[in-house]
Amino acid sequence: MIVACLIGLGGGFAAILFRYLIEGATWMFSGGHTITASGFSTLPWWWLLLMPAAGGLIVGCLVTWLAPEVKGSGVPEVMVAVALRGGHVRKRVGLAKALAVAACLGSGGAAGREGPIVHVGASIGSLIGSLLRVPVSQLRTFVGCGTAAGIAATFNAPIAGAMFAGEVILGQLGVVSFSAIVISSVVATVLSRHFIGDFPAFLVPAFNLNHTYELLFYAALGVLAGLVGCLFIKTLQWIEELFEHIPVHAILKPALGGLAVGGIGILLPQVLGVGYGAINDAMHTSVPLLLMLGLLCGKLLATSFTLSSGGSGGIFAPSLFLGAMLGGLGGAGLAEILPGQVGSGGSYALVTMGAMVSATTRAPITAIIIIFELTNNYTIILPLMVACILATLVAGQIVKPSIYHARLLRRGIDLNTEHDINILRNVSVGTVHMKPSLSVQEDASLEEILEMAIEHGDRHYVVVNRLGHYIGLIHLDELRYSFFNEQELAHLIVAADLVHRDLPTLLPSDNLDLALKLLGNSGLDTLPVLDPTDPTRVEGIITRDAVIDTYNQELLNRDMAGETARLVVAVERSRSVDLGDETLLVEIEAPPQFVGRTLKELELRQRFDMQVMLVKRREDDKGLTRMKREMPGPDFEIRKNDLILLLGSAANMKKITSL
């Protein structure tokens, strides 16, 4: 609880400084003008065009040279850190993110500051947890605390901050973790109110619901918000694909996106920056209908260009902006059709803001609570619940992933699948221990191949032509019959007759998920890895066992290690842990038959379907005996008195322990 308070203070101060940093950057880029649309509109057209490009260039430099994680909203990166990295966020990310977002938003980039403050708050929580060396489960909670603190301080909404951390970042609400998150959220809110003031982020109008049948209108706006939210997600994807195919260096792409934003800003300066001023105007019905329609389209495009080109900023504020314009249009239209019989346009703008956030983030509880905390009016709850839930359902039917998950899916990360798939997709083939490729010429005789096999003992050989270019593989297992017929076949068969030519190949940049799929589809346990600079040459040979061993190493490293460590401790106490489904984790002393042999020679996976998770070895250190834990590879040799941690079925475990 004390640490939660510290993280709340850190997140609150970060949110306050973040706001002043953005305002200072805006003042610098705009030549002393204010952050409002009226301030931007007084600038010359060429300044509006080039200003976001200059900010984009700065962001490109920070992303390329300092931290690639700072581009985008930051929320997906925090979700990945919690789900796949045990809550670890690199220390430099917080500062780099603050600088990048200040440059992007201060120069007119059309994005929000809420997502980035989530990233900064998460980095504070991760840093404090790492310094205290807490278990991974607590480190994830501390990241949630930093997230909640940032959102709470930004919106002056402590409940919404806590719900966002639980609903979006952690994906669950445990009693202990949620208690700490609430404390951080409250502390950050108190700090924000002390330095900035106790008022909501927007100038919220009074909400009124004149008749019950208005719920039907709010429901219709919820459906429309779901459709616009889908359009927003798809537009981000389309423009991101466009920028991926533009043949310029990555450092220049945010500047190109800034030029596009500047072009939109010349016509609609209200879309530049965070856009809170335009949101306030829409809620107070001071924006003409045609202008609201233009701002709806302009903001959607401007935000997409900002983020998809590699800029840094959040999507929370743009979602609120789109919702305010859509709701303002709907409210104004209803007021024309049914004068005096419906609520104000500001009421419809408020509710549709929450619906739009629900449609893009798929976090309806957070959206409902944040709008409720902005208004402090219980009357808004019913229309808000109807609109937010319908928006979430409609958007989910058309575009399955949220705006955060969609960006992760483009990187091959699916947080809705099991963690092992994500680990496989995030580890490259180049990190796997590869065997050096022993090659033979395509005209080498069978006698030469067999002599080479006896000398080296390898099971697979690369076949190359006279130029040294890769042709295929020879599998030694297929030559067993040839040993008994060597005299007859030795001079008749050459390597070209035995080679498998059309095997799938891998590159070092491919992931382990692809490697396992290709190994499974080919029915082989070995594939060649080609040199990316010269695909006619083989860099090494990768085996199924090496891939699985690398996966197990990553499993323990990532934590998953928090859970694995607890299992290891439990095994040390009781020598056996039942994991369910008749699967056991057992610690045994190395049987005499194992001593002096490598894991590759023992073939425990092939013979018993058992996996060696860990080996503990007694070592003398200055007269003291200590246990050293090692993650064994295929060439790890078992010694006497080693303790082996085995994972497998109960039936196979009996066979091992009976040796």
Which residue segment(s) compose the domain that 636 sits in? 559-657
Q: How many domains does the chain have?
A: 4
**70 lies in the same domain as 182:** yes
pLDDT over threshold 90, residue 234:
yes
In the prediction, which pLDDT does 35 show? 53
Averaged pLDDT, 63-90 = 78
Instruction: Output the average pLDDT for the chain.
Output: 82
**184 lies in the same domain as 218:** no
Q: How far is CA 124 from the centre of its chain?
A: 18
**Which stretch, 7-11, 38-42, 71-75, 277-281, has highest mean pLDDT?**
7-11
Report the alpha-carbon distance of residue 46 to residue 36 in Å, rounded. 18
Residue where the block lists tokens 């020879």: 474
Residue 530, strand partner residues: 538
In the prediction, which pLDDT does 580 show? 55
**269 lies in the same domain as 389:** yes
**584 lies in the same domain as 642:** yes
In the prediction, which pLDDT does 532 show? 82
**35 lies in the same domain as 152:** yes
At 361, phi and psi to the nearest 5? -95, -15
Q: Are the C-beta atoms of 315 and 307 separated by less than 8 Å?
A: yes
| DSSP letters spanning 317-358 | HHHHHHHHHHHHHHHHHHHHHSTTTS--HHHHHHHHHHHHHH
pLDDT over threshold 90, residue 175:
no
Go through 68-83 and write b for each residue having 16 or more CB atoms within 10 A of its CB, e for each that does not.
ebbbbbbbbbbbbbbb
**Bridge pairing between strands 534-543 and 576-580:** unpaired
| CATH code of the domain containing 572 | 3.30.70.1450
**523 lies in the same domain as 572:** no
Residue 592 lies in a domain: yes
Q: How far is CA 38 from the centre of its chain?
A: 37
**Which stretch, 197-211, 337-351, 483-497, has highest mean pLDDT?**
337-351
Torsion angle of the four alpha carbons 269, 272, 273, 279, in this order, in degrees rounded to the nearest 10? 70
Residues 103-120 pLDDT 10s: 998 888 899 888 888 888
H or E element, residue 106:
helix 93-106
In the prediction, which pLDDT does 484 show? 47
Averaged pLDDT, 416-436 = 69
**281 lies in the same domain as 383:** yes
Residue 344 lies in a domain: yes
Residue 424 lies in a domain: no
Between residues 486 and 331, the one the model is more confident about:
331
Q: Are the C-beta atoms of 59 and 104 separated by less than 8 Å?
A: yes
**26 lies in the same domain as 143:** yes
Residue 51 lies in a domain: yes
Fill in the amino acid letter for 410: R
Report the alpha-carbon distance of residue 146 to residue 128 in Å, rounded. 10
- Per DSSP, the three-state class of 543 is strand
Of 376, 409, 442, the residue that ends a domain is 409
- Per DSSP, the three-state class of 443 is coil
Residue 336 lies in a domain: yes
Report the alpha-carbon distance of residue 317 to residue 346 in Å, rounded. 17
pLDDT over threshold 60, residue 487:
no
pLDDT over threshold 70, residue 626:
no
Residues 534-592 pLDDT 10s: 878 888 888 887 887 777 666 655 544 445 555 565 566 567 776 655 677 788 888 88
Residues 138-149 pLDDT 10s: 888 899 999 999
Residues 509-527 pLDDT 10s: 888 888 888 887 777 778 8
Half-sphere exposure of 179 (CA within 13 A, CB side): 6
Of 377, 409, 441, the residue that ends a domain is 409
**456 lies in the same domain as 578:** no
**487 lies in the same domain as 567:** no
In the prediction, which pLDDT does 561 show? 45
**Structure-block tokens of residue 536:** 């006619």
Residue 356 lies in a domain: yes
Averaged pLDDT, 175-199 = 85
Residue 352: pLDDT band with limits 50, 70, 90: very high
**405 lies in the same domain as 451:** no
Residue 541, strand partner residues: 435, 528
Residue 348 lies in a domain: yes
- Is pTM, for the whole model, over 0.85? no
For residue 560, whether the previous peptide bond is cis, meaning omega lies within 30 degrees of 0, is yes
pLDDT over threshold 70, residue 481:
no
| CATH code of the domain containing 462 | 3.10.580.10
Q: Are the C-beta atoms of 68 and 92 separated by less than 8 Å?
A: no
pLDDT over threshold 50, residue 56:
yes
pLDDT over threshold 70, residue 457:
no
Q: Are the C-beta atoms of 615 and 639 separated by less than 8 Å?
A: no
Report the alpha-carbon distance of residue 350 to residue 497 in Å, rounded. 74
Q: Are the C-beta atoms of 233 and 403 separated by less than 8 Å?
A: yes
In the prediction, which pLDDT does 204 show? 81
Q: What is the largest CA-CA distance in the chain?
A: 103
**Structure-block tokens of residue 223:** 């459906």
In the prediction, which pLDDT does 543 show? 81
Burial of 180 (0-12, 13-18, 19+ CB in 10 A): buried
pLDDT over threshold 80, residue 423:
no
**251 lies in the same domain as 130:** no
Q: Are the C-beta atoms of 542 and 515 separated by less than 8 Å?
A: yes
| CATH code of the domain containing 339 | 1.10.3080.10
**Structure-block tokens of residue 70:** 């700072």
pLDDT over threshold 50, residue 68:
yes
In the prediction, which pLDDT does 327 show? 93
pLDDT over threshold 90, residue 207:
no
Residue 423 lies in a domain: no
